[in-house]
Amino acid sequence: MCEGHKALENDLLIDQQIIGLVNNGKIDAFGELVARYQVPVFNLAYSLLTNRADAEDATQDVFLRAYKSLHTYTGQGLFWSWLRRITVNICIRQAQSAKPIYCDDMDTFIDTDSEVCESIICSEELEELRTMIYRLPLQYRSLIVLKYYEDMSYAEISEILGESVSNIQVRLFRARKMLQESAKVYTL
Amino acid sequence: MTCEVYEDLIPVYVDGELDRQNAELVEAHINQCESCKDAYQQAARFREDISSALRMHQFKIDVVSAVVEQIQPKHSRTSAWVWIPAAAVLVLAVCLFAGLQLAPSKTASPGTLSGKHNPIPAPHINIAKADQVSNPTKHMERPIQLQSAPKHISKQPVLQILKAKQTVAIITAPAGSGQAQIIMKYTDNDRSDPQNDNQYPLAPEALPVPSPGQKIVAENEIVSISGRRLQRVCYRIIEDTDSEIRMEESHDNN
């Protein structure tokens, strides 16, 4: 058994012990779960919402929702997978209700002055690429984040967003195209 | 398959989402076609850069206390405002109940304290000294020493009080923390019976903790109604003017 797998099993065990305490009325133990997962929840929320204040609100909402629904977590699969689903749902709902962004707006975000960089992309260009990702409409940005930040499979994304795998594949293809066109670094 | 088809498959291959058969076809093709090999390398780099761009800033945050505060039960933050008035209401209710049941009124309903099969006639006040009552039967309350009420308690006996004792309740919880277990301890003169020295938790078993500067006083009285000896307990919250806790301090009133 590899070290990574052992660590994963250890994490799972710790999570389940804490959840057991919380379900038995030890409310304060939930703080341990928050401490363990607040950073990944917040950074995922930030990637989806692209705004620190909104991401912080969403992070609190995620944990409050998780607390209320903790009894529904059966222990099948990682706790993080369960928490991530809540995070994505809350962030997408929050983004949709706050400020809807449509694909038609993309033209205004395209930066035509980006330089072509043949070598390993430098940090400034990574920053630029990140900005491009953040400017994508939510329906595309969410796919880029879930696939390339969270390393989720098409099937997992499909399940979490309630869409078909083929639809996810097509939209992800479009999202990559938008980024390639805007950055002009990765023109195939 | 043409290169155009492979170019569509390459990003999916890079994502690791192609099935084994198509993955092997793509691998075979990019080893033969320079153009598609470049497309593959560019797609792989693009994927890597997107991951790096999204991970280049990892923000720290601390919402533990904010979340834990919101999931705590609400009553714990308002307990002081709830329990102090509740204590006053409880004391008033107990006193009123005891007064109504035992008051020497002609219209009082007899038998309230006597049980279903043994109604009590209208109260008859019989002023008697404590030492005139002797040899209580087993079903009666044990006699206890008479003790004068403290000066700061307004005490107006309405019945014949054969023997009474006033005890300061033992508070086993800090003030304002919720409920306190009230344990009253009283003894009779007969020290030969070790059971007489037991502690008796009296109903209500738990009372709200009074606010600082107050304490709960339980007045335990043996009263006589038409020859029946009954026990009456009255709880009061009084201002704690005495720093000394009076426990087991009793003396004859006569």
- In this prediction the ipTM stands at 0.81
Whether residue A141 has pLDDT greater than 90: yes
Helix and strand totals (H; E) in chain B: 5, 7
B110-167 pLDDT tens trace? 333 333 333 333 332 222 223 333 333 333 333 333 333 333 333 332 333 444 444 4
Cα(A156)–Cα(A151) distance, integer angstroms:
10
Identify the residue among A18, A22, A44, A126 best suited for mutation to test binding to B, counting B beta carbons within 10 A and taking the highest: A126
Whether residue A1 has pLDDT greater than 80: no
Q: Which one has a higher pLDDT value, A89 or B124?
A: A89
Q: What is the dihedral of CA B45, B49, B51, B53, to 10 degrees?
A: 180
pLDDT of residue B229: 59
pLDDT of residue A37: 94
Q: Do A47 and B54 touch (CB under 8 A)?
A: yes
Q: Which stretches of chain B drop beneath a pLDDT of 50?
A: 76-78, 103-206, 242-254
Whether residue A114 has pLDDT greater than 90: no
| pLDDT tier at A79, thresholds 50, 70, 90 | very high
Q: Do A27 and B68 touch (CB under 8 A)?
A: yes
User: In chain A, what residues touch B72 (CB-CB under 8 Å)?
Assistant: 27
Q: Do A188 and B39 touch (CB under 8 A)?
A: yes
User: In chain B, what residues touch A27 (CB-CB under 8 Å)?
Assistant: 68, 71-73
When CB atoms are compared, the residue of B51, B64, B66 closest to A35 is: B64
- DSSP letter, residue A43: H
pLDDT of residue A167: 95
Cα(B16)–Cα(B245) distance, integer angstroms:
78
When CB atoms are compared, the residue of A123, A129, A173 closest to B50 is: A129
In this structure, are strands B214-225 and B228-239 parallel, antiparallel, or unpaired? antiparallel
pLDDT of residue B247: 36
Residue B207: enclosing H or E segment and its boundaries?
strand B206-208
Mean pLDDT of A86-98: 90
A107-111, A129-133, B135-139, B217-221: which is most confident: A129-133
pLDDT of residue B80: 54
Q: Do B49 and A149 touch (CB under 8 A)?
A: no
Identify the residue among B71, B76, B77 best suited for mutation to test binding to A, counting A beta carbons within 10 A and taking the highest: B71
